[in-house]
Structure 1
Amino acid sequence: MVLPLAAGENAEAPVLIDRPQSRSSAIFIVGLILAAGLTAVATIVLLLGGGIAGEFNSAISAMLVASLVICAGLAGIFAHRLVRVARAWRSAATGARLHVRFVTLFSLAALAPVIVVAAFLGFTFSQGVERWFSQRVESAIENAANVGRAYLDLAGGDMGAEIQVMAQDLNVARRGLTEDSARYLAFLQQQAQGRRFESAYVISRDGAVLAGAAEQDGGGAYARPSPEAFATADQGDVHIRFDPDHNRLLGLYRLEDYTNAYLLVARPIEPSLMQGLLAFDEAVADYRQSQRQQGELRGLFTMAYVSTALLVLLGAGWVGLTSATRVAEPIGRLVGAARRVASGDLKARVAVGEERDEIDALAGAFNRMTAQLDAQRRDLVKAQEDAEARRSFIEAVLGGVSAGVLGLDRDGRITAVNSSAAQLLGLAHAHLVNRRLIDVAPEFSELFNQPPSSGEMPPQRVDLVREGGTVNLSVRMSPDAEGGLVLTFDDMTKLISAQRQEAWKDVARRIAHEIKNPLTPIQLSAERLRKKYAPEITSDQDTFLKCTDTILRQVSDIGRMVDEFSSFARMPTPQMRFADIAEVARNTVFAQRIAFADVRVEVEGADKPIGLVSDERLIGQALLNLTKNAAESVQARRARDGEPKDGFVILRLRDLEYGVQFEVIDNGLGFPEKDRHRLIEPYVTTRTKGAGLGLAIVARIVEDHGGLIELDDAPGPGPGAIVRFVLPKRTVEEATPPSAEHGAGAS
């Protein structure tokens, strides 16, 4: 569809070229900068108080007059340029209207605040100056100055009366100065403190100190009075003097009953008060100086404002004309080409200027747009279809991978994540995308501290701490084509735990073999020594019996530890058959009640039979270990804290649809928060005694029965622990391990 040109549009209309000569433009810019500098310097000096003090009024006035003269010359250059624009407007040149609009907008934008500020400053200055120099303000300032001086006079008068009274007391005690100097100094100290003097000295006519008392914090430094002070004191008056170096009042008075002796005291004055009084005196002097020069000050402010306003208006107008010139010419060319495109000519081109600015970039973009519009559209549609298909394929592949996969950009932000990665990291998909990996999982920061590699890096281990447990990840990191990274990681926690258990089994087997052999000879030898030589020893038989008992007891403890090693190293293959788990639980609780009479051991949910295909002996062993550990934990807490008074261990059974749940709950010491999951590994324990194999054996029994053990805090307030596991309900065939596992368990 071809659009006709609007009425009045002329495709061949001339384009306005308003480019001033380089000389006139340079003169305008230099003059504008010079005038602005003069005005700025004059205004700054005026605002900083130079005009108020009257010291630089002549220099300020000269700078402002020079600035106004320069502004007049700049106005002539600007007017000459406006005349050329007006002539082009009359000839209907393209861009003339744009010039006028730019100049008008820039001028209005500068003129509006100038007028508002002028009115505001005029009103504020007139009202403010009249109020500043009003009779009421002047009276208030004079009264405030009189108050400060009256304060010093009042303080000095009170101090003089107290000095005379203190002098009378010292006249009474004059003999103490020569007869008992220590007592006299104490009396002088008491007199000074009672009258709030920071120091008091009894001095001679030549200024020598006969006795003195001063504060211990360093105040009350001695200062020798002047001859005028001694002359005033000799006349029987109190001489009061302000000491500005130490912010205090000094008082001197003659002691009549002494021979050429004087009393010199000092009273501190608040430093901030004295500094304020001195500063106020200076402010009063400045106020009176400003009051005499307010007319001249008003004229200087007016000249500074007029100069600033002219500079703003001239600068805004010049910028408007220059901006219009830079925009109007290329826009005129774009207008002609756009009219051709509107008429259906997609081969229209625009001549690109030599300045290579944004307008020229727009012209080049216009040319590329008309030449490549259809081709670009086809390419974009095809690229979008390919990208959508590729994204769908990648999402489908990553969704079915069990390993976690993360895509990172150059900044380490997550751009892609599959469900396995979100599950392993313990965060939702929405909380991962567009966030930095080291922010959501700081444990990965060590990977980025390694030197960069162009290829795939070897697998690295990352221990991810989540909810009190640690997940061991095997992480592979490789760069992608866009400078980012692709991370793949697998959960190796169970594998590492299994490898660790197998290693500990071999260690336990070797320890049991090496230790068990000498235990029997040691035990038999100790028993033989006790039986044969106990009756013959008469000198220290009790020590002999204690030593042999210690040997037998320690051998027995080592034997039990070796039995634990052997049990862990040679776990028997479960013999699966249908058994009553409730009966096993009741027997376990009965045995523990006898062993731990001071702990309340109870069973819940075992009042009726619960059938389960399992190894009855191994299940009993697991429950016995758990209840024994729980009871010992209660006793340990009671020995440490003196509580709980009512220690308990509860073995709870729940017959569920899919299995049987076991819970052992106690109010003992509880489990540690950190690395709690490692307590089920061999030789990991928080107790001072024990081999750390009890929970490892229980975990192995539960695992052989198809269950998974959990360690948690006991419900309710206070410490305590709960061990929970569920054994699935299976048939004998399902629960019985293959023959290969039988062989492995028996080895």
Structure 2
Amino acid sequence: MTKSARWAWIVSLVAITGAALVLAFVLSFSSAGTGFYERHFVWLFWVNVAVAALLVLVILLAMLRLAVRVRRGKFGSRLLIKLAGIFAVVGLLPGLVIYTVSYQFVSRSIEAWFDVKVAGALDAGLSLGKTTLDALVSDIGTKTRVAAERLAEQRSTITPLTLERLREQIGARDVSLLGHNGQVLFTAGGGTAAVAPERPGLLLLRQARLSGMGSQVDGLDEESIAAANAGESAKGPRVRALARIPSTDIRLAPADDRFLMVVQPISRALAMNALAVQAAYSEYQQRALARDSLRRMYIGTLTLALILAVFGSVLLAILLGNQLARPLLLLADGVRQVAAGDLQPKPVFGSADELGGLTRSFAQMTAQLADAREQVERGVAQLEGARTRLQTILDTLTAGVIVFDREGRIDTVNPGATRILRLPLSAWRGRRLGELPELEAFAKSVDQRYELLATSPEAGERDQWQDAFELGRGDGNTLTLLVRGAPLPGEQRLMVFDDITEVVSAQRSQAWAEVARRLAHEIKNPLTPIQLSAERLQHRLESKLEGNDQSLLIRSVATIVNQVAAMQTLVNEFRDYARLPAAQMKPLDLNALVAEVMALYGHAHDRGVLGVRLAEQPPRILGDATQLRQVIHNLVQNALDAVGEQDDGHVELSTSVARGEHGELRALRLTVLDNGPGFPEKVLKRAFEPYVTTKSKGTGLGLAVVKKIADEHGARLRAVNVQAGEEPDAPITGARVSLSFSNFAPPAAGPHEGPAPATGDATQVH
């Protein structure tokens, strides 16, 4: 047994022994009557208080000791406090029940010691005597008031003889006439003449003056009864009644008031019975007081027993808490070792109860944690191997890969990106791509594409985008990049790009080599000989032929010459496409440029085939007005040609402004929409390549020229079919070609170049 356990047992035994002695002492005198408690109640009460104080002091010391343990951080202290509280509550609740039942039992038992019928009889006798006296006083008072009313008629001639006759009529012992201040004027009475009647008290006199009549009982005590027995009837118990004699003369002042006082003795037997009842009732009340003292003593003893029970519960909690804390201390040591990373096998508490099972479960859990840690370490090793393989793959990729974090800073970059861009991007991790002076414009364009994907995606763009960008180098060359971007979880962004400069150059070289070959082989070489030969034949044979033969010759030669001219026109278009001049970028108003071109299509507008809707006050862009006029003309003409054979054909040209989530400017979009048959699927994929056309007489260079001009302006060109629904197989209801400009002109102090519509969110142009 530990030292603390021995200390707890010693204190508990001492306290229990002391409480038992006090209880035995109290119970030993329980049959000694109430007199003992009346004489020794005070010191018995203080003995109980002292024992209770001792118990409370011991509990406070135990609580203080627990508080010191908690403050020092000893394990199990808080658990001991909880256990002490639990045991205290467990001991207190039954104790309160027993205390309540015992309290009621003691109270009712002590009440049963006293005869309830006797108490009721005393109360009834006291009430009866009081009622009898009140009836006697009321009767004397009534007779006195009636007698005073009779004397009112002869107020000025009242004599002792009149009072004597009045006394005999009402059967009183003494009848007196009093002045306004209570002095006795004269008296008529059957008592001793030498004894003058007593003057009434001030209270009785004031009552008679205010209400006209007053009465009271005098001499109802043991001394007065003894005096009456000794022959002094004037000092015996009596009823005194005082009535004011009314006056009909209103001139009389209060100083002229007269009072009639009647004194009637009370029966000696009645007075003695009343005193006896009163004395018995007083003695019963004193006994009841002793009864309350006894009840308080027993209740104090019960309270002491309750405190003892709670104290024992707390001590048991401390003792049992120590027994419970031993396996918990073992668990605590194991938990500290596990928290420090030590997952070696843990000791087990050798008991068959739940706490022993808890230590065994903890040992099993520790072993499982050790196995899990080994698995995690193997998983981390595998993950590191996978990351190494992924990094190796990224390092060997020919394409450039850049991952941006949620703030737009470079997070991951592979050597392919450094090789393609020829910049040390690895040294710029943690910084924005636009902070590199060489990539500022490129980074801005990429950010705009991400924003457009999030706020205003094109048809077919869902969770990724693809576009081509031209990046200028310091040596004067241009780098063409095919960039693909997609958002990643955690608001990150992925960008993958390839250098397609050589591919584009090879494609262009191959295309123009083919064009040159076809022009040289099929058109240019035989063109001039054919025309010259035809003209020479007409010159030689025209004069020699007549009639139908001559007409046939002229028509044939004309046909040959016209076809040669058509072939020359085709050659000129190829030449224009190949030798398109460089764009001269200047600030311009796209709405004004659209209105200028639409003036050439007044006939289509009047027929309702062509409609225009322009955005209100769009931003100015940097562009070549001549080339953009050609773009607008080509797009509108292609759309009109597509709906030319429809009765309900309609083409709409519109401009709109694309903005971000916070209202920032993103792009200015030019859109041409028609309700024609749309693009065939095989044509839609190559709509902007040369020689691709749906027209029987077209050259296929219109949209190719538009694409080249769009690239010169850094604009994004898209062509899609409009479908009646979102299903892939929904019917096609038209085509839409859009051109998005993001190269805005800086703000200018002067007015915009060209006219600009100023009313409405969208303006109709005529």
TM-score (norm 2): 0.32
Could you say which structure has the larger radius of gyration?
A: 2
TM-score, with structure 1 as normaliser: 0.32
